[in-house]
Amino acid sequence: MTNIASIVDFSNHPIDDLNYINKCNSYIKENSILVLENFLLNISLNKILTEAKFLEKEAFYCEQKHTILLKKQSSDYDQEDPLNILMTSDKGCVPHDLINTNSDLNILYHSDIFKNFIKKVLGLDNIYPYVDKLSSINLNYYQKGQQLGWHFDNASFAITLMIQSAPIGGEFEYITEGRDSNKDLIDRDIMSRIISGSKKPNKLNADDGTLILFYGRNYLHRVTPVESEIPRILITLNYNQENNVELSENARMTFFGRL
Ligand SMILES: O=C(O)CCC(=O)C(=O)O
Ligand SMILES: [Fe+2]
């Protein structure tokens, strides 16, 4: 059985070390995003990439139109209202039940050391996998022309692993201001300027093997269209703060095409 020490590069990222954990916690509090480059050892990255390429033919592709709050357009609001403008998102997804039980991804996801790191860095009491068989780990494929439109996530935090960045396009863009979901505040002016392109977002061009933690419910973000024949492959590691949560049937049908 593979050990997490043969997956994570502990020399760069000693995720079991309290000083390192505290450093990451301070960093994300200050910056709202934490980018850990070369998080995966090369040998593990290559194994995961091989598995992801093998599973690519199983991906379910969906295209959606949604507002930045992931809702449908409403005739109650002005079409120009930044909360009512439609975005396009399209990508392919391989759900958790197709990933090998012995995959480094499963070992990492279930590892107590990794989960403890995530909990402490994000200041959470506990984190739990989804109880449905599809939603905990997802392989996402963005083929040429595919993208994620501007949005806020439903989940408060996101954990992603870049496995194959696109040579052209497929950039992660984000802002770290403009919403406080706890106080139900959204700065419409900032949203309008980002959507229209008059305000420039931050850009992140993550290399393969990078782990990213991000407060996606509070910060608008998108993935620009992939422009290369080589797809962008990104893994989401999805946890809940409560036990026994399943992704809604509607969301599972949308993203995976099945329950
Ligand atoms: O692909 C990415 O880098 C971000 C994914 C994302 O924003 C999402 O799945 O909600
Ligand atoms: Fe997102």
Q: What share of the chain in percent tops pLDDT 70? A: 100
Higher pLDDT, 130 or 1: 130
- Check pocket membership of 238 for ligand 1, CB cut-off 6 A: no
Query: Measured in angstroms, how far is the CA atom of residue 234 from the centroid of ligand 2?
Result: 12
Mean pLDDT for the stretch of residues 229-243: 97
- Check pocket membership of 215 for ligand 1, CB cut-off 6 A: no
For residue 53, pLDDT over 60 is answered with yes
CB atoms within 10 A of CB 253: 13
pLDDT of 185: 87
Mean pLDDT for the stretch of residues 120-139: 97
Tokens of 126: 């506990």
Place of tokens 């850009």: 203
pLDDT of 19: 98
- What number does the ligand 1 atom closest to the CA of 172 have? 3
4-256: in CATH 2.60.120.620: yes
pLDDT tens per residue across span 65-84? 999 999 999 988 888 899 99
pLDDT of 181: 79
Nearest ligand (C-alpha, residue 203): 1
pLDDT tens per residue across span 153-191? 999 899 999 999 999 999 999 999 888 878 888 999 999
Higher pLDDT, 130 or 79: 130
For residue 33, pLDDT over 80 is answered with yes
Mean pLDDT for the stretch of residues 214-225: 95
What's this model's pTM, rounded to 2 decimal places?
0.96
Write down the domain spans for the chain.
Answer: 4-256
Query: Measured in angstroms, how far is the CA atom of residue 125 from the centroid of ligand 1?
Result: 24
How far is 132 from 244, CA to CA, in rounded Å? 9
pLDDT of 1: 57
pLDDT tens per residue across span 2-27? 799 999 999 999 999 999 999 999 99
pLDDT of 233: 98
- What number does the ligand 1 atom closest to the CA of 153 have? 10
Mean pLDDT for the stretch of residues 228-255: 95
